[in-house]
Amino acid sequence: MSSAIDISKKRKKRLWRFIGIGLVIVVTLLIAVVAWGWSQIGAGVPTTQGQYEFNEISSEVNIYRDDYGVPHIEAESEYDLYFAQGFVTAQDRMFQMDLSRRQASGMLSEVIGESALDTDRYFRTFGLRRAADASYDEYGEDAQEILHAYADGVNAYLAQMNESGDIPVEFRLLGYSPEPWEPLDSLTIGKYMAYDLGGTWQGQAFRYWLVNNVSEEEAIDLMPTYKEDGPIIMDVAKNTDVDVLSAFEDVAAYLPEPFNGSNNWVISGDHTQSGAPLLADDPHLGLATPSIWYETHLRGPSVDVNGVIFAGVPGIILGHNDEIAWGVTNVGPDVQELYLEKRNPDDPYQFLYEDEWYDADVIMEEIVVDGYDEPVQHEVVVTRHGPLLSEYSDPLQQEDVAMALRWTAHDPTKELEAILEINKASNWESFLHALESFSAPAQNFVYADRDGNIGYRANGKIPIRANSDALLPVEGWTGEHDWERYIPFDELPTLYNPDSGMISTANNKIVTDDYPYHLSHTWAQPYRHERILQLLDQDEPLTKEDMMLMQMDAYNLHAEEFLPEIVPLLLQDGLREIDRSALAVIEQWNYEDVVDEGGPLIFHLWFHAISSLLFEDTIPEEMMAMFEGRTSIIDQLLRDALEGEPGPWIEHAGSLEALLTESFKRAIDQASELQGNEPKEWSWGEYHQVTFAHPLGVMSPLDLLFNPTPTPVDGSRITVMAAGYNDETGATNHGAGWRGVMDLADLTESYHIVGPGQSGHVRSEHYGDQLLDWVNGDFHTTSLQPEVYQSGDHLQLLPTSP
């Protein structure tokens, strides 16, 4: 018996020994897998200390990184300076740079596959890369050399990356290695930014759909402006037949964000504590990881400039040098025109112009698609006015009438030359001279210099239309609507040292009605600009800290205007108990769109519901995405109704009171689904959260790796602290990826936030180190003093030894 027990004990010991060994092996393997995965994720994190040798450069280049990963580049020649800028930017942002050029060029399918094919068709048709190619020869020799220097620096990084095998994890996950960089890639990214900030064609297409699908009275009610001869213009649209709903049913995913805009302002020393001007700028674009913006300090033989630029482009587009500072917002003029083109029924590639048929250009684009054996052939037809946009998704449909796009940025332009000259400008005259080369997109430039001067210029190529007003597509076959010239440079809106000592823009209307040229029908809602003017109008002298606080201001003037007018009109008999509780919350709200308040949640959901109720039964979702200026138009519909003049859309809703009551209840239902049935516990921050999503973060579980943790954030679309969001989820996806403040009393330093950080590498300490700074408004100081920035990490680029 004891012998059997002994054997059993030995077996158990042996079993536990095997289990123990097995556990050790499993744990060891798990540790090895985790360690391998961690090392793969960390691949490509920049080397910021030590030395590299390159054949291309002629002298030593020193690169210092400060505490926020901002590179300070010192070089003895311009070529070496921009070579180093290309190298350093690629170190931090190579995947972003490659994705940017692919999207703009219509080459995403090559690495993403069939899901990106429609995107590629659209951008191949739009022709950003063709426009960039046409622009290259317009550049002078110096600018071309800088483009090549930058490309050489990027390619030096790629060669070093491939040789070492230290390849960023995004390329590993997608299974490809980026192609060499070309100067054309930088110019194409520049054209994409013009596209992102210059879209008005979709508004013309939307209004074309309106006049063919709703009553004349309803169409006029949704026009941003309308002249007495409007019905004549509408007759042109009615006499042609383009199925825009079918043509553009998928285009919403590629359209520029309707709330793209910015804030900037500059004040003279008369209003500041230092006695010198203060300048602030915060451009509003998509929020993502990494940021659209990349901060850099460039010090060379003829330039000492700091600020931000789009990754993939040389120079500094927003910032300051040692003499001047500048910033921009989007003007948003009508620089696009849809032309209705008549096709020859006997030849699909011929179109009518002044009673004669002419041959259009036919471009066959080959789109390489991952997983396909052969490239996809995509036909682009380019008329005398531009590419046929209405047939981008199906070039073979070849309707009798199609829509072609005329756009200023399709012309050869040289914005990069302007940027490089601005970087070296030392006064107002040299600054304006540089702007002569800046054509697209049209921008509101604010300016300040060390001598105390401030200025403003709305700059860019803006067409003068003889026989159209950019409301609706025009006849392309008559010749009567062709653009013949542009607003003369010297007649663009300009201010220099105004008596007020203050200049500000926020995509608002910038000219009075007596300005002789048409700029735009559609301006941003006025609330950001009005609030900026309120904050600047102070009795006490202002400081740079005041400028930073202004950029984080979350006061909602939209709510201040409308809530006192519309709350009393709610039909009390139609309200439920939860509605009354929510009403109590909004009546106690102080109009601040801040995270711990429930009022902003109710207000913004309410106005979204008003829009939905007005149009959802009449206007298809595809067309709603193209409804240019919708928020301002809805505001005006409400103002008219409050003054006793409701239009047809309000009347169709039953009455203003019925519309407000039903939309309020719908908003409360949405809020309760999101945050429960106790309105007093609702908060803006639980709904309104910023993620800074990474391009690969759309896929689970990669979102857990690449996307920062969602963080509650103040602001909204109409506050100075701009923070646009998805109406259904509240995900904050749009705003000021960079904020900058410059004090002209001391241009050896400036103040910045690049959200969520400088680096595109998930293992970098600078991947998300500015996320909370962005949420809270904590600016970092970037110093241009060598004794300060040279204390950081130091990387040297050296000429190859003989």
**Which residue has better confidence, 17 or 577?**
577
pLDDT at 32 over 60: no
Query: Residue 28 domain-assigned?
Result: yes
When pLDDT is averaged across residues 325-337 and rounded to a whole number, the result is 96
When pLDDT is averaged across residues 314-321 and rounded to a whole number, the result is 98
When pLDDT is averaged across residues 64-89 and rounded to a whole number, the result is 98
pLDDT at 34 over 50: no
Q: Which two tokens stand for residue 671?
A: 């809020």
Percent of the chain exceeding pLDDT 70 equals: 94
pLDDT at 24 over 50: no
How many structural domains is the chain composed of?
1
Beta strands in 675-779 (DSSP E): 689-690, 711-712, 723-725, 731-736, 738-743, 749-754
pLDDT at 559 over 90: yes
Contact 664, 585 (CB under 8 A): no
Question: In the prediction, which pLDDT does 395 show?
Answer: 86
Beta strands 261-267 and 71-74, pairing class: unpaired
Query: Residue 3 domain-assigned?
Result: yes
Buried b (16+ CB within 10 A) or exposed e, 69-103: bbbbbbbebbbbbbbbbbbbbbbbbbbbbbbbbbb
When pLDDT is averaged across residues 778-792 and rounded to a whole number, the result is 97
- Summary mean pLDDT of the chain: 93
Query: Residue 414 domain-assigned?
Result: no
Q: Which two tokens stand for residue 47?
A: 């080397």
Alpha-helix runs per DSSP H in 597-689: 599-615, 621-624, 630-642, 648-652, 656-675, 684-687
pLDDT at 2 over 60: no
Tokens 């995004």 sit on residue: 170
Question: In the prediction, which pLDDT does 15 show?
Answer: 58
**pLDDT tens string 714-769:** 999 999 999 999 999 999 999 999 999 999 999 999 999 999 999 999 999 999 99
- CA angle at residue 262 from 261 to 267, to 5 degrees? 150
* Whether the bond into 441 is cis, omega within 30 of 0: yes
Backbone angles phi, psi at 773, to 5 degrees: -60, -40
344 CB burial (10 A radius; 0-12, 13-18, 19+): middle
Question: In the prediction, which pLDDT does 42 show?
Answer: 65
> 481: which DSSP letter?
T
Confidence band for 4, pLDDT divided at 50, 70 and 90 = low
CA separation for the pair 722, 606 (Å, rounded): 19
Question: In the prediction, which pLDDT does 167 show?
Answer: 95
| Cβ contacts of 794 within 8 Å, gap of 6 or more | 48, 49, 62, 63, 64
Query: Residue 531 domain-assigned?
Result: no
Tokens 């072609």 sit on residue: 404
Domain with 13 in it: 1-41
Q: Helix crossing, 117-126 with 78-105: angle to 10°?
A: 120
Query: Residue 15 domain-assigned?
Result: yes
Q: Which two tokens stand for residue 102?
A: 């692919």
pLDDT at 38 over 60: no
**pLDDT tens string 121-169:** 999 999 999 999 999 999 999 999 999 999 999 999 999 999 999 999 9
**pLDDT tens string 253-300:** 888 888 778 999 999 999 999 999 999 999 999 999 999 999 999 999
Query: 633, 657, 559, 565: which is closest to 603 by C-alpha?
Result: 559
Helix, strand, or coil (residue 636)? helix
Tokens 């979702």 sit on residue: 621
CA separation for the pair 176, 159 (Å, rounded): 15
Contact 781, 749 (CB under 8 A): yes
Query: Residue 183 domain-assigned?
Result: no
**pLDDT tens string 495-549:** 999 999 999 999 999 999 899 999 999 999 999 999 999 999 999 999 999 999 9
- C-alpha dihedral sign at 123, 128, 129, 134: positive
Question: In the prediction, which pLDDT does 30 show?
Answer: 39
Question: In the prediction, which pLDDT does 18 show?
Answer: 57
pLDDT at 552 over 90: yes
Question: In the prediction, which pLDDT does 241 show?
Answer: 86
Contact 723, 734 (CB under 8 A): yes
- CA angle at residue 429 from 426 to 431, to 5 degrees? 60
Q: Within 13 Å and on the Cβ side, how many CA atoms surround 170?
A: 25
Helix, strand, or coil (residue 380)? strand
Question: In the prediction, which pLDDT does 198 show?
Answer: 81
Q: How many CB atoms lie within 10 A of CB 537?
A: 10
pLDDT at 22 over 90: no
Q: Which two tokens stand for residue 650?
A: 């309000």
Largest CA distance in the chain: 114
Q: Which amino acid is at 368?
A: V
- Residue 709 vs residues 34, 481, 688, 695, 726: alpha-carbon distances, Å: 22, 51, 13, 15, 17
pLDDT at 28 over 70: no
Query: Residue 17 domain-assigned?
Result: yes
Query: Residue 7 domain-assigned?
Result: yes
When pLDDT is averaged across residues 85-98 and rounded to a whole number, the result is 98
Question: In the prediction, which pLDDT does 300 show?
Answer: 98
When pLDDT is averaged across residues 16-33 and rounded to a whole number, the result is 48
Backbone angles phi, psi at 12, to 5 degrees: -65, -40
Percent of the chain exceeding pLDDT 90 equals: 88
CA separation for the pair 424, 474 (Å, rounded): 42
Contacts of 362-365 with C-beta under 8 Å, sequence gap 24+, read 363/130, 365/106, 365/124
CA separation for the pair 716, 732 (Å, rounded): 9
Buried b (16+ CB within 10 A) or exposed e, 171-203: bebbeeebeebbbbbbbbbbbbbbbbbbbbbbb
pLDDT at 33 over 50: no
**Which residue has better confidence, 802 or 69?**
69
Question: In the prediction, which pLDDT does 20 show?
Answer: 55
**pLDDT tens string 395-407:** 888 889 999 999 9
**pLDDT tens string 163-213:** 999 999 999 999 999 999 999 999 999 999 999 998 789 999 999 999 999
pLDDT at 384 over 50: yes
330 forms beta bridges with 443
